[in-house]
Every structure is written in C-alpha cells, then in structure tokens.
C-alpha cells in the first residue's frame, strides 16, 4: 500500500531549469539552499582526527558533544537550565522533523500544525502517520486535536522572525492543548535586520518564552547553514527531557546514530565562533548585492529579516516571475511550493558563489 505523500515540488522545476541552463552565461541556480563554501578547516581537521571509529557510536551522543550542545545554547541562545539529558544529536535536522510525529506516537485523528508558509517536510511528517496537517500561524485557530506544532523561525521560505512574545503565545496555546511545540531554528545565526544583525534570533527555549519549565517544548537545530556541514548531516534537538528520552528510546531501536567522527566535528564546530562570523559575512555580502538588484528589476522584498533567502514579489503569479528570471538564466523556487501565501512570491537563495551572484546582478540590470 502506497503512502499518500505530498508532492515533491522541485520535481516540477525541470522546464524552468532547462531554460535557465540555455542562457549563454550558464545557469545561476538560486533555487535551493545548499551551501557552496568550504567546510571550515578546524572542523575538517577534527573529523580527520576522529576517523578511527571502530566502535558503534552513541545514539545519545558522546558526553563531550552533549556538553558542547548545552554550552552552545547557553552562550549563543540565552537558554539556561539545560542538562545533558535534555539534548540529543540527530542525523541532520530534516530526518527528525519528518519522523517526530511517528516517534511521538501520533496518528489518525491527530492534527499537526505548521507555518502557513512552510517547506514540505512538516506535511510529510503528518502524512507518514496519517495525521491531519494544518497550515496556520494563528494559535487561536489550532483545534483541540492538535498534538504537535511546528514553528519555524527564522522562516523558510520567507525569512520572518518570531519575537519572544509570539513564541510565548504559541507555547502557551500548545500547552493548553496538551500538544508538543517544536521550534525549527536552523537559521538563527543568520540575521540581517534590526537587532538580529548582531545576535541570534530568539530561541523557543528562552526562559522568557517557556518560563521556568521545559515541558512540551523542543528546539531543533542544524549546523548545515552556519558551518557548511550539510554533507555531514549534523543536527540536534534540545528541550523537555521527557520528550528527549522518548525520542532517544526510539532512535536506539532504529539505530539512528550520528557517525562518531561527525559527532566530534560537531563538538568542535559548536565551540568555534570565528567560522560562523566569517560565513555570515560572506552571505551578507551576497545579500547586499542581490537584494537591491532584484528591487531595481521591479521586485519587492518581503520579510527576509534572517536566513538564506530573499522572499520577493512583483505582484504577479509566482510561476510568471520564476519564468521571467529563468529567461535570464536565474533559477528560483516559486513561492507556491510553500503554501497559498506564496502564490505571488519567489524564494531566491543566497547559496551560490560570489561569481554567480555577480552574474545574477548583471543579468537583472539588463
């Protein structure tokens, strides 16, 4: 019996991709958020030093890695009160997002809430267990059947940031419903506007959000973006120790173990801020070149306060905008991939080389 899976939208981009590739200057692919810059040397060296990995790795993570995650949340996210029993490494963040509904025991009759503009993995998690997926940003609209709420801040695709007040309101409503609420926060170190330009965006585990208790609340993070570790599959989850123990128990049975060398690389990455600052500067320069070029070409940039994308519109159908860009050799993702709120937007990624960004800027201005 086949699963009723949501459509994988990037499969529909082939025609636009072919148009973009036919440009004399070749394609500028701004459709995906896959890092292009080198993995920092300090992390690669840590991985190399840990390659004598003859024993099975620990599903729970090494004590040193768990301590590094706890310390990182305290130093970078302002989260106090975490213990090593409250954190768990994962094989990237996407597998955790897709699998959490199953591992938390959800099923038919349950509702999983995700942002109105959202990438498809939240809906996939609902499909895998036969639950109902609901796209909603308003806690007042969450039904009594809600058992899991996904927040995404900074948001993919639109780069919006949930402040402490909105996070607290979401946590309060989820607790009222008896639901788990999880913050997907992998772009937290990549803020561009206002106060987020100098510090990470708010964490769902912040004491101003959760009060003096962590029950029912999880934070999910990935090092793919801040540390160029997409190929390492390096993520983690933190929060309610009861939920962490439940996830750990299932993951032990399933053999979901982050490889030992990757665990050591993660430990080193979490302790080194210099490479994160340097990477943010690279993305910031690309953003500073591309955003005004899009605006001069008639686009308006909405939200995009943080993250690796520009959420752009010309007030027309998203596919029309995407086709116009493809004719100039620039491939982007139509906003309709992410929900009905994106039908007049395109998502433009910053994850390409400086040379390709410069090519996009030149094409937008002619």
Q: Tell me: the pLDDT tens digits for 203-260?
A: 999 999 999 999 999 999 999 999 999 999 999 999 999 999 999 999 999 999 999 9
What integer pLDDT is reported at residue 108 of this predicted model?
97
Distance, in Å, from the CA atom of 132 to the CA atom of 151, rounded to the nearest integer, reads 16
Regarding whether 293 and 280 lie in a shared domain, the answer is: yes
What is the pLDDT confidence band of residue 12, given thresholds at 50, 70 and 90?
A: confident
Q: Tell me: the pLDDT tens digits for 72-90?
A: 999 999 998 899 999 999 9
Last residue of a domain, one of 272, 305, 337: 272
Judge whether 3 lies within some domain: no
C-alpha dist (Å) from residue 270 to 64, 67, 349, 352: 11, 10, 25, 24
Regarding whether 350 and 220 lie in a shared domain, the answer is: no
Regarding whether 24 and 72 lie in a shared domain, the answer is: no
Radius of gyration (Cα) for the chain, nearest Å? 20
What integer pLDDT is reported at residue 1 of this predicted model?
56
Per-residue tokens: 215 = 């029950």
Is 162 within 8 Å of 153 (Cβ atoms)?
A: yes
Strand partners, 29: 331
Judge whether 101 lies within some domain: yes
| pTM, to two decimals | 0.94
Range of the domain at 337: 9-38+275-364
What integer pLDDT is reported at residue 5 of this predicted model?
66
What integer pLDDT is reported at residue 81 of this predicted model?
85
Strand order in 234-239's β-sheet? 87-91, 234-239, 217-222, 180-184, 146-152, 111-114, 132-135
Regarding whether 221 and 312 lie in a shared domain, the answer is: no
Per-residue tokens: 232 = 């390492």
Q: Among all chains, which residue has been given the structure tokens 């989850």? A: 237
Q: What is the mean pLDDT of residues 362-366?
A: 92
Q: Which H or E run includes 70?
A: helix 63-77
Judge whether 4 lies within some domain: no
Last residue of a domain, one of 272, 294, 325: 272
What integer pLDDT is reported at residue 317 of this predicted model?
97
Backbone angles phi, psi at 23, to 5 degrees: -65, 140
Q: Among all chains, which residue has been given the structure tokens 């910053």? A: 350
What integer pLDDT is reported at residue 33 of this predicted model?
87
What integer pLDDT is reported at residue 7 of this predicted model?
65
What integer pLDDT is reported at residue 341 of this predicted model?
87
CB atoms within 10 A of CB 14: 9
Instruction: Domain count for the chain, please give it.
Output: 2
What integer pLDDT is reported at residue 6 of this predicted model?
61
What is the pLDDT confidence band of residue 340, given thresholds at 50, 70 and 90?
A: confident
Is 16 within 8 Å of 323 (Cβ atoms)?
A: yes
Per-residue tokens: 123 = 């809906």
**Does the pLDDT of residue 282 top 60, yes or no?**
yes
Regarding whether 193 and 82 lie in a shared domain, the answer is: yes
Regarding whether 332 and 289 lie in a shared domain, the answer is: yes
Q: Among all chains, which residue has been given the structure tokens 């009861």? A: 242
Give the end-to-end CA distance of the chain in Å, rounded to a whole number: 52
| 146-152 vs 111-114, strand pairing mode | parallel
Judge whether 281 lies within some domain: yes
SS3 148: strand
């Amino acid at each position: 019996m086949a699963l009723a899976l949501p459509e994988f939208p990037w499969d529909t981009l082939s025609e636009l991709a072919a148009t973009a590739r036919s440009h004399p200057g070749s394609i500028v692919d701004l459709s995906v958020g896959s890092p292009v810059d080198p993995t920092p040397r300090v992390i690669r060296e840590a991985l190399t030093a840990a390659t004598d990995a003859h024993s099975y790795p620990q599903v729970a993570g090494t004590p040193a890695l768990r301590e590094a995650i706890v310390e990182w949340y305290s130093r970078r996210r302002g989260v106090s009160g975490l213990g090593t029993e409250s954190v768990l490494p994962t094989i990237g963040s996407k597998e955790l997002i897709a699998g959490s509904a199953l591992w938390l025991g959800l099923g038919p009759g349950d509702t999983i809430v995700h942002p109105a503009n959202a990438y498809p993995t939240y809906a996939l998690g609902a499909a895998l267990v036969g639950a109902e997926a609901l796209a909603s940003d308003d806690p007042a609209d969450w039904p009594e059947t809600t058992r899991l709420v996904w927040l995404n801040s900074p948001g993919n695709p639109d780069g919006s940031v949930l402040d402490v007040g909105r996070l607290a309101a979401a946590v309060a409503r989820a607790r009222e419903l008896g639901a788990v609420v999880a913050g997907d926060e992998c772009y937290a170190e990549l803020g561009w506007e206002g106060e987020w330009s100098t510090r990470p965006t708010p964490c769902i585990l912040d004491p101003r959000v959760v009060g003096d208790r962590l029950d029912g609340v999880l934070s999910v993070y990935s090092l793919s973006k801040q540390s160029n570790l997409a190929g390492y599959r390096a993520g983690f989850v933190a929060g309610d120790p009861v939920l962490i123990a439940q996830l750990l128990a299932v993951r032990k049975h399933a053999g979901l173990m982050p490889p030992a060398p990757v665990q050591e690389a993660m430990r080193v990455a979490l302790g080194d801020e210099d490479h994160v600052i340097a990477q943010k500067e690279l993305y910031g320069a690309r953003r500073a070149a591309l955003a005004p070029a899009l605006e001069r070409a008639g686009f308006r940039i909405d939200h995009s306060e943080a993250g690796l994308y520009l959420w752009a519109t010309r007030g027309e159908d998203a596919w029309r905008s995407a086709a116009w860009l493809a004719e100039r050799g620039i491939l982007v993702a139509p906003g309709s991939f992410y929900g009905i709120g994106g039908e007049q937007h395109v998502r433009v990624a910053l994850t390409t080389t400086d040379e390709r960004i410069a090519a996009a800027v030149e094409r937008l201005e002619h």
